[in-house]
């Protein structure tokens, strides 16, 4: 049960080339700026309903999904899904247009923040019911196995979701059937206002597969190189036909649970402390500077990303709403 | 003593069969467990064993006979020294020619009188001079829980974020502070588990109030609500009560898309063994939640997020409890009846106002309780106005609206001057896009249009 952890601990951080590190950095920065913009648009009333931001957790999706084959390996997650899509290279414009509920949105405006999908990128959503994505992910893995397409599924869920019973039913079947799946607990320490220790008898989530003989890995989710290294170990294991892996990614969300969160359950100092000490983007930036990259180059990247995000926001604000008849389309596929 | 051997039923659904083969003949001695015959049903061939000992006296149905009814005497087993050679079946189900065919008494289903709905008490009078306070629905619900918790130690609240966070929608605000963590309990996100624990606690004599953050998430728990909570009293012959309240917001909120926007009223109202309440204003929210907590039955209490913040007057009585199962006439009128519940009442009242301006006098009924339905109030109103519209913030198919229409057909047909119309949400999953969402949900203008239509004034 500890074999993968041991392998991972032998060399915990991925030795990225400058080019690779730069790519990680850019993706994480894109997610951060995108989410900041989404927060602004929400404040302006352009985005409605629930909107869960990924700020603080960027290294998780970027570090993990960079170890996958985009479009072949499937990814599924909950409602906090913008970052996973951006990490998989999906166009920010159609994501933002979904947030504003426009026809050009990735779900044609019908799903909103929590329900986005791109079968083209093998990104399967975008699910609003806490925990539901876990058996769905195992189903995707089942299909990979059935079709012998060599793909695997990465199924993300939160520390709160980890207490849903269906998660354990899924662990059992995934292990029993040797499914190609990597279970990812994104432990951002809170489920809405409930801290992990107030909800969980076993707070070391990576151990929770033990009863099903699923090896666990305990990973610092604030360090993109560590995340990526761990992902490589896990993916290699799963691709080798050895069945599921359970990874716990320790991370932190800086913003409220969704846009309407009184945030009384934690102190400002706690949030500030994490931001200052272990921000994933700052860490990658420092690394790049240490490697001798030109600071002007970083400034330029930031500028470019801001432009991409501004363009996405513009597109999302100005693209047309849906035609009224769209209310009735997509309910069923066929006509009866 | 001669014993009649009857054609056995070899499965719960077998009514007749073929006597394929006798394995004994007249005069044979048999003991318990001996196989007497082979009997064929449409599903299988089965062996027919003797459960007594004796001598096969007479075989009355020859082997090879088909369509032998269950219960037909097929042979007689004689006791020692008995002669049964001329025995004939005592009561053959195959009536002899010329005899009047009478159905055997036992095959007629016992006709049971269906209990008629009891007369339900009206809301208690509010004594003159009672202070009225303006409360939001949210506060009224909180007060109801707090008052009942003060009165009854067995009452406790559990659910996600109900304690330290003060409720995801702040309905349980202040309860933790007053009642402490023993009685105001934060659960993990495990609806199936805690709905089961709440149900079990009720079976164990407590009075749980189980909050679902929204009823969308009760889908994870619906097995316990229906199979455990709703049926146990019946299955235990009335021994095992389950006085649990499942409460939380239900129906569409605002821009939260398909998985978070659904009205479950008709789902629960479908189930015998549940009480289903869906109040509109603060007074009903408080009075009915208190009644729900005191009820011996499992209650589904459907709230609505969009009216939590609306304010209404509530009488400041020591004990404001309202009758379950009683509708409320929100506005009297003579020309057309609008039946609704929950947030639909708000639109119905707006519509009535609008209709009044056009010279149509609408009566508005708030059902308040959806199971059991107050059919009398609906039918009385129909008898007066002869026209009826149901307004429901939910899908039309198999809805509460459908049920009201069935009621008007079955029991109010003679009073109808126009077909009953339902005004419901569009029959699609709720879209996120602002413009489509607005189109999908009911509103006052649609109710106005339907009311005019049944008055033939459009
Ligand atoms: C079945 C279900 N119950 C409750 C909710 C409401 N809810 C939405 S997110 C959430 C917290 C989930 O926390 P976690 O799994 O840690 O994920 P995070 O939000 O931290 O990413 C809750 C309780 C829901 N969407 N589905
Ligand atoms: Mg969490």
Residue range A56-72, pLDDT digits in tens: 999 999 999 999 998 89
- Are residue B285 and residue B157 in the same domain, yes or no? yes
* Higher local confidence (pLDDT), A223 or A119: A223
> Is A229 part of any domain?
yes
| Percent over 70 (pLDDT), chain B | 93
Residue of A nearest to B218 (CA): A129
What is the tens place of the pLDDT at every residue in B144-156? 999 999 999 999 9
CB contact under 8 A, B433 and A192: no
- What's the length of chain A? 336
Give the closest of A115, A127, A326 to B436, CB-based.
A326
> Is A292 part of any domain?
no
Evaluate if residue B97 carries a pLDDT over 80: no
CA distance A203 to A216: 13
Q: Please count the other Cβ atoms lying within 10 Å of the Cβ belonging to residue B44.
A: 11
- What's the length of chain B? 458
C-alpha torsion B338→B343→B349→B350, nearest 10: -120
CB contact under 8 A, A327 and B440: yes
CA distance B147 to B209: 13
Task: Quote the number of domains for chain A.
Answer: 1
Strand, helix or coil for residue B169 = coil
Q: What number is the average pLDDT over the span A145-151?
A: 94
Residue B18, judged by CB atoms within 10 A of its CB (0-12, 13-18, 19+), counts as: middle
For chain B, the first-to-last Cα distance in angstroms comes to 83
- Are residue B373 and residue B432 in the same domain, yes or no? yes
- Calculate how close chain A gets to B161, using CA atoms only, in Å: 7
In this structure, which ligand is nearest to the CA of B161? 1
Evaluate if residue B252 carries a pLDDT over 70: yes
What is the tens place of the pLDDT at every residue in A276-314? 999 999 999 999 999 999 999 999 999 999 999 999 999
For residue B41, the 8-state DSSP code is: -
Least confidently predicted of A133-142, A198-207, B44-53, B176-185: B44-53
- Are residue B307 and residue B361 in the same domain, yes or no? no
Scanning the structure block, which residue is given the tokens 């109710």? B447
CB contact under 8 A, A194 and B219: no
Q: Is the CB of B143 under 6 A from ligand 1?
A: no
CATH number, domain at A137?
A: 3.40.50.970
> What does the pLDDT read at residue B108?
61
B427 neighbourhood in chain A, CB within 8 Å: 331
> Is B96 part of any domain?
no
CB burial readout A316-333, b (16+ within 10 A) else e = beebeebeeebbeeeeee
Whether B260 is catalytic is yes
Helix ranges (DSSP H) in A46-101: 58-65, 82-87, 92-99
- Are residue B168 and residue B297 in the same domain, yes or no? yes
- Contact of A110 with chain B, judged by CB distance below 8 Å, is answered with yes
CA distance A13 to A304: 28
> Is B115 part of any domain?
no
Task: Quote the number of domains for chain B.
Answer: 3
Confidence bin at B92 (pLDDT 50/70/90): very low
Confidence bin at B239 (pLDDT 50/70/90): confident
Inter-axis angle of helices A280-290 and A18-43, to 10 degrees?
150
What is the tens place of the pLDDT at every residue in B267-300? 999 999 999 999 999 999 999 999 999 999 999 9
CA distance B88 to A195: 82
* Higher local confidence (pLDDT), A147 or B112: A147
Cβ distance B34 to B11 under 8 Å?
A: no
**What distance in angstroms lies between residue A191's CA and the mean position of ligand 1's atoms?**
6
> Is B32 part of any domain?
yes
- Are residue B191 and residue B333 in the same domain, yes or no? no
- Contact of A115 with chain B, judged by CB distance below 8 Å, is answered with yes
> Is A15 part of any domain?
yes
- Contact of A326 with chain B, judged by CB distance below 8 Å, is answered with yes
Q: What number is the average pLDDT over the span B35-52?
A: 84
Give the closest of A110, A115, A165 to B190, CB-based.
A165
- Contact of A291 with chain B, judged by CB distance below 8 Å, is answered with no
B160 neighbourhood in chain A, CB within 8 Å: 192, 194
Mean pLDDT across chain B, nearest whole number? Answer: 92
Give the closest of A98, A129, A165 to B193, CB-based.
A165
CA distance B328 to B378: 10
- Are residue B342 and residue B447 in the same domain, yes or no? yes
Q: What is the CA radius of gyration of chain B?
A: 31
**What distance in angstroms lies between residue A136's CA and the mean position of ligand 1's atoms?**
16
Q: Is the CB of A80 under 6 A from ligand 1?
A: yes
- The helix or strand, by DSSP H or E, that contains position B186, with its residue range, turns out to be strand B184-186
> What does the pLDDT read at residue B91?
47
Q: Is the CB of A127 under 6 A from ligand 1?
A: no
Phi, psi at A181, each rounded to 5°: -140, 140
Q: What number is the average pLDDT over the span B4-10?
A: 86
**What distance in angstroms lies between residue A160's CA and the mean position of ligand 1's atoms?**
6
CA distance A243 to A251: 25
Residue of A nearest to B440 (CA): A327
Cβ distance B287 to B316 under 8 Å?
A: no
Task: Give me the catalytic one of B260, B305, B392, B403.
Answer: B260
Provide the CA B438 distance to its chain's centre, in angstroms: 31
CA distance B268 to B250: 12
CA distance B264 to B122: 27
For residue A70, the 8-state DSSP code is: B
Strands B275-277 and B369-371, sheet pairing: antiparallel
> Is A276 part of any domain?
no
Give the closest of B160, B255, B436 to A49, CB-based.
B255
- Contact of A168 with chain B, judged by CB distance below 8 Å, is answered with no
Last residue of a domain, one of B267, B286, B315: B315
CB contact under 8 A, B255 and A48: yes
Last residue of a domain, one of B315, B343, B359: B315
Strand, helix or coil for residue B33 = coil
> What does the pLDDT read at residue A276?
95
Q: Is the CB of A53 under 6 A from ligand 1?
A: no
CB contact under 8 A, B168 and A161: no
Domain of A11 in residue numbering reads as 4-271
- Are residue B384 and residue B408 in the same domain, yes or no? yes
What is the tens place of the pLDDT at every residue in B206-221? 999 999 999 999 999 9
CB contact under 8 A, B189 and A114: no
- Pocket perturbation via mutation, ligand 1, pick of A191, A198, A221, A259 by most ligand atoms within 8 A of CB: A191
- Contact of A106 with chain B, judged by CB distance below 8 Å, is answered with no
What is the tens place of the pLDDT at every residue in A18-71? 999 999 999 999 999 999 999 999 999 999 999 999 999 999 999 999 999 988
- Are residue B344 and residue B270 in the same domain, yes or no? no
Cβ distance B228 to B199 under 8 Å?
A: yes
Provide the CA B11 distance to its chain's centre, in angstroms: 31
> Is A300 part of any domain?
no
Q: What number is the average pLDDT over the span B155-173?
A: 96
Give the closest of B165, B254, B433 to A192, CB-based.
B165
CB contact under 8 A, A192 and B161: yes
Last residue of a domain, one of B295, B315, B335: B315
ipTM of the complex: 0.82
Q: What is the CA radius of gyration of chain A?
A: 19
> Is B124 part of any domain?
no
> Is B390 part of any domain?
yes
B256 neighbourhood in chain A, CB within 8 Å: 49-50, 112, 114
At a CB cut-off of 8 Å and minimum separation 6, what does A244 contact? A141, A171, A174, A175, A178, A179, A180, A181, A182, A183, A209, A214, A238
Domain of B386 in residue numbering reads as 326-454
- The helix or strand, by DSSP H or E, that contains position A232, with its residue range, turns out to be helix A224-239
CATH number, domain at B138?
A: 3.40.50.970
Q: What number is the average pLDDT over the span B184-189?
A: 95
- Are residue B304 and residue B342 in the same domain, yes or no? no
Q: Is the CB of B355 under 6 A from ligand 1?
A: no
In this structure, which ligand is nearest to the CA of A57? 1
CA distance B207 to B222: 19
Q: Is the CB of B259 under 6 A from ligand 1?
A: no
Confidence bin at B14 (pLDDT 50/70/90): confident
CB contact under 8 A, A102 and B433: yes
- Are residue B145 and residue B272 in the same domain, yes or no? yes
CA distance B423 to B400: 11
């Amino acid at each position: 049960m500890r074999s993968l952890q041991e392998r991972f601990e032998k060399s915990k951080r991925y030795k990225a080339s400058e080019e690779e590190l730069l790519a990680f950095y850019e993706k994480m920065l894109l997610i951060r700026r995108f989410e900041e913009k989404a927060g602004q648009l929400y404040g302006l009333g352009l985005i409605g309903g629930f909107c869960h931001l990924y700020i603080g957790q960027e290294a998780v999706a970027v570090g993990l999904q960079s170890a996958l084959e985009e479009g072949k390996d499937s990814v599924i997650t909950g409602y906090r899904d913008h970052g996973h899509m951006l990490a998989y290279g999906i166009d920010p414009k159609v994501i933002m247009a979904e947030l504003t509920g426009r026809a050009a949105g990735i779900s044609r405006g019908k799903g909103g923040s929590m329900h986005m999908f791109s079968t083209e990128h093998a990104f399967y959503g975008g699910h609003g019911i806490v925990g539901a994505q876990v058996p769905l992910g195992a189903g995707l893995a089942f299909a990979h196995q059935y079709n012998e397409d060599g793909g695997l599924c990465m199924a993300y869920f939160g520390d709160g979701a980890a207490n849903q019973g269906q998660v354990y039913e899924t662990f059992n079947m995934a292990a029993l059937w040797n499914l190609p799946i990597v279970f990812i607990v994104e432990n951002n320490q809170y489920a809405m206002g409930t801290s992990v220790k107030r909800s969980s008898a076993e707070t070391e989530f990576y151990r929770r597969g033990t009863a099903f003989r699923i090896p666990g890995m305990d990973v610092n989710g604030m360090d993109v190189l560590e995340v990526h290294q761990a992902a490589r170990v896990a993916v290699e294991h799963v691709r080798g036909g050895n069945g599921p892996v359970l990874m716990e990614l320790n991370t932190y969300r800086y913003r409220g649970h969704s846009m309407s969160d009184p945030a009384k359950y934690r102190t400002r100092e706690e949030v500030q402390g994490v931001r200052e000490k272990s921000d994933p983007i700052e860490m990658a930036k420092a690394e790049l500077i240490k490697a001798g990259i030109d600071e002007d180059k970083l400034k330029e990247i930031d500028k470019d990303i801001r432009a991409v995000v501004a363009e996405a926001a513009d597109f999302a604000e100005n693209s047309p709403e849906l035609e009224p008849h769209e209310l009735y389309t997509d309910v069923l596929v066929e006509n009866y | 003593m001669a014993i009649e051997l009857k054609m056995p039923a070899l499965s719960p659904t077998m009514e007749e069969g073929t006597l394929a083969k006798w394995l004994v003949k007249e005069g044979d001695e048999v003991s318990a467990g001996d196989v007497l015959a082979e009997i064929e049903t449409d599903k299988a061939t089965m062996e027919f064993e003797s459960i007594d000992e004796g001598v096969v006296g007479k075989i009355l149905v020859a082997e090879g006979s088909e369509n032998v009814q269950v219960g037909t005497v097929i042979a007689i087993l004689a006791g020692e020294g008995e002669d049964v050679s001329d025995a004939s079946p005592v009561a053959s189900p195959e009536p002899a020619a010329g005899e009047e065919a009478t159905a055997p008494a036992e095959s007629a289903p016992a006709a049971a009188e269906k209990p008629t709905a009891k007369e339900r008490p009206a809301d208690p009078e509010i004594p003159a001079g009672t202070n009225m306070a303006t409360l939001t629905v949210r506060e009224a619900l909180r007060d109801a829980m707090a008052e009942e918790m003060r009165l009854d130690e067995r009452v406790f609240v559990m659910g996600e974020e109900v304690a330290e966070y003060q409720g995801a929608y702040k309905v349980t605000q202040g309860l933790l502070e007053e009642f402490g963590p023993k009685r105001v309990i934060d659960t993990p996100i495990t609806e199936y588990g805690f709905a089961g624990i709440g149900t079990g606690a009720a079976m164990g004599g407590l009075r749980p109030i189980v909050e679902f953050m929204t009823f969308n998430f009760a889908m994870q728990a619906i097995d316990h609500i229906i199979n455990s909570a709703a049926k146990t009293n019946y299955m235990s012959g009335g021994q095992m009560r389950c006085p649990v309240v499942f409460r939380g917001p239900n129906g569409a909120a605002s821009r939260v898309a398909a998985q978070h926007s659904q009205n479950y009223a008709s789902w629960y109202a479908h189930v015998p063994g549940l009480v289903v309440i869906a109040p509109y204003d603060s007074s009903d929210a408080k009075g009915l939640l208190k009644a729900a907590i005191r009820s011996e039955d499992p209650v589904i209490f459907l709230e609505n997020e969009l009216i939590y913040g609306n304010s209404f007057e509530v009488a400041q009585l020591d004990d404001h409890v309202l009758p379950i199962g009683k509708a409320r006439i929100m506005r009297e009128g003579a020309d057309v009846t609008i039946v609704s519940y929950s947030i639909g009442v708000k639109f119905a009242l707006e519509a009535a106002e609008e209709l009044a301006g056009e010279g149509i006098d609408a009566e508005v009924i708030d059902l308040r309780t959806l199971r059991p339905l107050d059919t009398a109030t609906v039918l009385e109103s129909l008898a007066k106005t002869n026209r009826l519209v149901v307004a429901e913030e939910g899908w039309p198919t198999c809805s509460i609206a459908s049920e009201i229409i069935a009621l008007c057909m079955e029991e109010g047909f003679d009073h109808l001057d126009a077909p009953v119309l339902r005004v419901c949400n569009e029959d699609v999953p709720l879209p996120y896009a602002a413009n489509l969402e607005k189109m999908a949900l009911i509103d006052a203008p649609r109710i106005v249009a339907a009311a005019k239509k049944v008055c033939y004034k459009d």
